[in-house]
Amino acid sequence: MPIIAFYSKDSNLELQNEWENRLQVHYPLLNLVPLLSNEAENAITALLWKAPLDRVKKLNNLKCLISLGQGVDHILKDNVIDKKIPVVRIVDPFMAKSMSHWVIMSVLNFTRDTFGYHNQQKNKIYKNRKEIDFTTLKIAVYGIGAIGSVVAKDLKQLGFKVHGWSRTQKKIPGIDCFVGTDKFRDLLKYCDIHICLLPLTLETNNIFCNSAFKIMKHGSCFINAGRGEQVVEEHLIENCKSGHISSAILDVYRKEPLPKKSKLWDQENIRIWPHVAAETNPETAAKQIANAIECIENNKLPPNTIARELGY
């Protein structure tokens, strides 16, 4: 019976039992144990979300690490884990569509001035507000992999002009796809709505800072559901205060939960979401995780194993 070490930040035994029950539907013999328990010493695989990596490093029998989410930066950070150990991420159509729904909602809230109408309601003001002509808007999606490509295509279906940017060249029907630093800067200048769905790597850390925000058109909208470390929050606040960025919708932050003392809370044109844009669904993700565990048991490389040199 394969032993799987389990850890999810701020979780409890109830969540572990839920995952075990879901996984056993597809692989009845596996056994989940807490990462911090003595039983974890015999684990061949670890299923993790923001785990204490010093503890993970001490598990000498590990053959693979599986992220409980799409991102793997929480496993790769500080190069604590031996690079020879494969790292697997979840690639789940449910998560991709959930993210797409959240991004579409955020874009429509901006174009239809939802929050302006909310403020009018508070003051019992009944009048129309200026509507943005969506046919003239240009949207940039930064990060067009498994999730970003779905977001880009869904926005295109709604009639928006969509452009994509990624580290490696992509081909998505109907979407202009770009790579490279020069094209990144071109999209910053050219587009009206900027959506960050990038993985966190050395190259994307702090990628949205003053030098990026200042290039954007006056009145641009910035949406981030990638990683908090990709945004210099002080610079974003500065550009939102001046009105250069007219609206920012955020789901991720440099420190989570977002501290109550953070100035992001106080900026009226910044909207705060608590990292819920695309949560892992145990029911839809369990099958691929169980399959990855079975691959490891049979000395095979699981699908969705990341390229360590790329960071995703």
CA dihedral 265, 266, 272, 274 (to 10 degrees): 10
pLDDT tens for residues 100-140?
Answer: 999 999 999 999 999 999 999 999 999 999 889 999 999 99
Residue 311 is predicted with a pLDDT of 84
Q: Do residues 99 and 144 share a domain?
A: yes
Asked whether residue 217 is domain-assigned, the answer is yes
How many domains are there within the chain? 2
Asked whether residue 303 is domain-assigned, the answer is no
Asked whether residue 311 is domain-assigned, the answer is no
pLDDT at 1 over 90: no
pLDDT at 310 over 90: no
CB 2 within 8 A of CB 44: yes
pLDDT tens for residues 78-90?
Answer: 899 999 999 999 9
What is the Cα–Cα distance from 197 to 150, expressed in whole angstroms? 11
Q: Do residues 37 and 49 share a domain?
A: yes
pLDDT tens for residues 189-220?
Answer: 999 999 999 999 999 999 999 999 999 999 99
Asked whether residue 185 is domain-assigned, the answer is yes
Q: What is the mean pLDDT of the chain?
A: 95
Domain boundaries, position 83 = 3-92+280-297
Cα 111 vs. chain centroid, distance in angstroms?
A: 23
Please name the residue that has the structure tokens 């993985």.
Answer: 199
pLDDT tens for residues 258-284?
Answer: 999 999 999 999 999 999 999 988 888
Asked whether residue 8 is domain-assigned, the answer is yes
pLDDT tens for residues 220-269?
Answer: 999 999 999 999 999 999 999 999 999 999 999 999 999 999 999 999 99
Domain of 82, CATH number, reads 3.40.50.720
Q: Do residues 291 and 263 share a domain?
A: no
CB 141 within 8 A of CB 151: yes
Q: Do residues 145 and 259 share a domain?
A: yes
Q: Do residues 161 and 243 share a domain?
A: yes
Is this structure's pTM higher than 0.85?
Answer: yes
Asked whether residue 307 is domain-assigned, the answer is no
